[in-house]
Amino acid sequence: MATDQILTRSAPSVTVPRAVDPKPAAVSRLPSLTGLRFPAALAVFVHHAFLPIVPLRLLADDGTADRLAGWFTQAGGLGVTFFFVLSGFVLTWSARDNDTTRGFWRRRFVKIYPMYVVTWALAVSLFAMYYTSVRLAVANLFMLHVWVPQYMTNFSVNAPSWSLAVEAVFYLAFPFLLRAFRRIDPRNLKYWITGAIAVIAATPALAYALFPDSPRITSGHESSVSQYWFSYVLPPVRMADFALGILVALAVKHGRWRNIGMAWSALLLAASYAATAYVPYLYGQRAVMIVPIVLLIAATATADIEGRATWFRSRAMIWLGEVSFAFYLVHYIVLCSLRWALGEDRMFSTPATVAMMAGAAVTSLLMSWALYAWIEKPFVRKYSRPRKAARA
C-alpha cells in the first residue's frame, strides 16, 4: 500500500481524525499503546527462546528445531522495530510545550538507565563474566557496544541491551528532531513520512551493496557481520525508525493521518511477517514490516483518541505493558541462566522445551514485576524532577 494513499483524503472507506489537542489524561496516555507493548516484548522473547545458538538452544535437532527457528526468526526484528517507532510516536504525543531539553534527558535517564545497570549486573554475575572481558563489559555498561561492527560485541553481556544503547542515541536527538519536525507544514508530513519509509526500505540494499559478504553472523542467516550491523544495529541508521514515529504522531495530531483500523493493520502486519520468509534476511528484519507497524501504532492511538474500547486497554494488558520494559531486559538473562543450569550439551524434546519456555516466560514476568515495582517506579518517582522542583 502506497504511503500517499494512506495520508491523502480521497478514500471514503477509512477515517481521518480531526486535529487533536492531547490534554485529557485518557488521550495523552494512550493506554492501548501501553498494552500493545507486551506482545512486542513477547515476540522478542519467542525469537530468543527458539534461536539455535549455543547459549540458548534447548531443543533437540529432530526437525522441529529448525522449523520453529524459521517461524520466529524475524520476531525479534518485528518487536524491536515496533519499539523504535513506538518510542518516537509516544514521546512526541506526550511532549510538553514548556519542557526543557535537560528535563527530558533527566526523565529518560532515570527511567531507563537504573534498570539497565541492574540487569547488566545480573547478567555479568550469572553467566557473562565467564566469557566477557572486562573491557567489553565496561563498554556495554556505558552503552558503547553498538558503535563497532562486531557481532559478539554488539550482543555482549545481556543481548537485548543493544537496543537500549540505540534508544539512548534517540533520546539525545529527540528534542532537536521534534523542534525541527514541528516546523513542517502538516500538509507536507506525508512526504516526510514517505521519505522515512523509503530510507528504511533502502537500508538493506545499501548494506548488501557496500559491505562484504563475510564473515557471516553466528546465527547462520544470510548476512555478514558488517551488513547486519549497518542495517540493524547502527544507531544513525535506526534513527529513521524513531523519526518515522515522530512524524506519524504529528500527522495524527494534526488530523493528517488516514486510519484503516486496528483489525486491518494487524492483518497486514501478519501478512507482512509471513512475507519475510520469502525475501533476503535483512529486508525481512524491518523493511517489509515497517508500513504495517506504523499503521497499527497509529490505528491503536486513534482508537484511544476516539474513546473506543480495545482489548489492549484492559487493566491486565496495561499492567503487562507497564512491566514490558523490565520483561524485555530480563528475559534473555532467564533463558541463558536456564541453559547454563541444564548444561551445555543436554537437549530436550519439543514438548519439554515448550514447557520450559513457558516456565521461563512466567519467571521473566515475575522478575519484571519485581524490577518494575522495586527499581523502575521508585527511581522514576524520586528522581524524574530535580529536588527543588519536586519540593515546590
Give the tens place of pLDDT for each residue, 325-347.
999 999 999 999 999 899 878 89
CA–CA distance, 21 with 24 (Å, rounded to integer): 8
Comparing CA positions, the residue from 253, 235, 255, 264 lying closest to residue 174 is 235
When pLDDT is averaged across residues 284-305 and rounded to a whole number, the result is 97
Q: What is the pLDDT of residue 61?
A: 76
Apex 360 CA angle, 354 and 364, nearest 5: 145
d(CA 3, CA 77) in angstroms, rounded, equals 22
Terminal C-alpha separation, the chain:
51
Q: Are 142 and 169 in contact (CB under 8 A)?
A: no
The pLDDT, as a whole number, for residue 319 is 97
Proportion of the chain above pLDDT 90, given as a percent: 80
Angle between helices 161-181 and 235-253 (to 10 degrees): 50
* For range 109-114, the mean pLDDT: 97
| The three grid cell numbers given for residue 236, joined into one nine-digit string | 544513525
- Residue 143 makes CB contacts below 8 A (sequence gap 6+) with 116, 161, 164, 165, 168
CA-nearest of 41, 45, 85, 86 to 323 is 41
pLDDT of res. 264: 98
Residues near 140 by beta carbon (within 8 Å), at least 6 away in sequence? 120, 132, 156, 157, 158, 161
- Whether 260 shows a pLDDT value over 90: the answer reads yes
Asked whether the beta carbons of 40 and 84 are under 8 A apart, the reply is no
Q: Is the peptide bond before 236 cis (omega within 30 degrees of 0)?
A: no
Give me 111's grid cell.
527511567
DSSP state for residue 217 in the 8-state scheme? P
What's the whole-number average pLDDT of the chain?
Answer: 91
For residue 18, pLDDT beyond 60: no
The pTM is what? Answer: 0.92
Measured distance CA(10)–CA(16) in Å, rounded: 10
